[in-house]
């Protein structure tokens, strides 16, 4: 059983299962959460706005700040649909499951701009990945869309101050990442995986 939570891990795990084919263990299933299986319009937008001639300078600046940039170009919709997916097919005896997420950002959200870009092109999204791009594993493999959940909520990075403010104002936290992951483990156990 592999449960993957981060944007790159789902794609890395698909690659590992399909291309590396580990021999020391057997992968029975892969569950991805908000992985951009079909790329992200946010990556497309950044590349379009930046322009190819300025990319080396931006990569240099980000690398100096210790921000990893290597995979960013591989998150475009074109790369994912024309290069990655055709070369990383699903393996027949592995069960694939996926979840997506969607929310409406507040005025203070770090995802306001990226959400707007994604919503205008791909529809509902978690601020970084659209629901349509998150879907993987066929109809029976898509387990659902988590509503009111951002990408940071999914990886349990939601800021504690936000939780405190919500509790003080009488709003309860609507999403508990740890409980969600435990539910996935329970679902996989019931599936015999």
Distance CA 142, CA 110 (A): 27
Structure confidence at residue 23 as a pLDDT band (50, 70, 90): confident
pLDDT of residue 4: 43
pLDDT in tens, 167-176: 666 666 678 8
Residue 172: domain span: 2-38+88-190
Residue 177 pLDDT: 84
0.85 cut: is pTM over it?
no
Look at residue 64 and tell me if it is in a domain.
Answer: no
- Does 22 map to a domain? yes
Count of domains in the chain?
A: 1
Residue 53 belongs to some domain of the structure: no
49 found inside a domain: no
Structure confidence at residue 1 (pLDDT): 47
Q: What is the CA radius of gyration of the chain?
A: 18
Domain assignment present for residue 74? The answer is: no
Give the residue-averaged pLDDT of 120-128.
95
Domain assignment present for 106: yes
Mean pLDDT of 124-133: 95
Q: What is the pLDDT of residues 37-67, one digit of tens each?
A: 999 998 888 777 776 677 677 667 666 666 5
pLDDT, position 6:
39
Residue 123 lies in a domain: yes
pLDDT tens across 130-166, in order?
999 999 998 889 999 999 999 888 877 766 666 666 6
CA–CA separation, 118 vs 92, rounded Å?
32
Dump pLDDT digits (tens) for 63-118: 666 655 666 678 889 999 999 999 999 999 999 999 999 999 988 888 899 999 99
Examine residue 69 and state whether it is found in any structural domain, yes or no. no
* Better-predicted residue by pLDDT, 5 or 2: 2
């Amino acid at each position: 059983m592999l449960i993957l939570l981060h944007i790159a891990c789902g794609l890395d795990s698909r690659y590992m299962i399909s291309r590396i084919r580990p021999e020391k263990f057997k992968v029975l299933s892969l569950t991805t959460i908000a992985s951009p299986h079909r790329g992200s319009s946010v990556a497309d937008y950044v590349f379009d706005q930046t322009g190819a001639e300025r990319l080396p300078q931006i990569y240099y600046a980000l690398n100096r700040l210790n921000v990893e940039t290597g995979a960013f170009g591989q998150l475009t919709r074109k790369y994912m649909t024309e290069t990655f997916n055709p070369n990383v097919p699903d393996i027949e005896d592995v069960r694939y499951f996926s979840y997506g997420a969607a929310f409406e950002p507040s005025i203070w959200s770090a995802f306001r701009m990226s959400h707007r870009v994604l919503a205008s092109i791909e529809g509902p999204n978690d601020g970084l990945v659209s629901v349509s791009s998150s879907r993987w594993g066929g109809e029976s493999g898509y387990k659902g869309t988590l509503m009111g959940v951002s990408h940071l909520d999914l990886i349990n990075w939601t800021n504690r101050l936000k939780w405190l403010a919500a509790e003080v104002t009488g709003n309860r936290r609507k999403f508990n990442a740890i409980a969600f992951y435990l539910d996935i483990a329970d679902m996989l156990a019931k599936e015999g995986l």
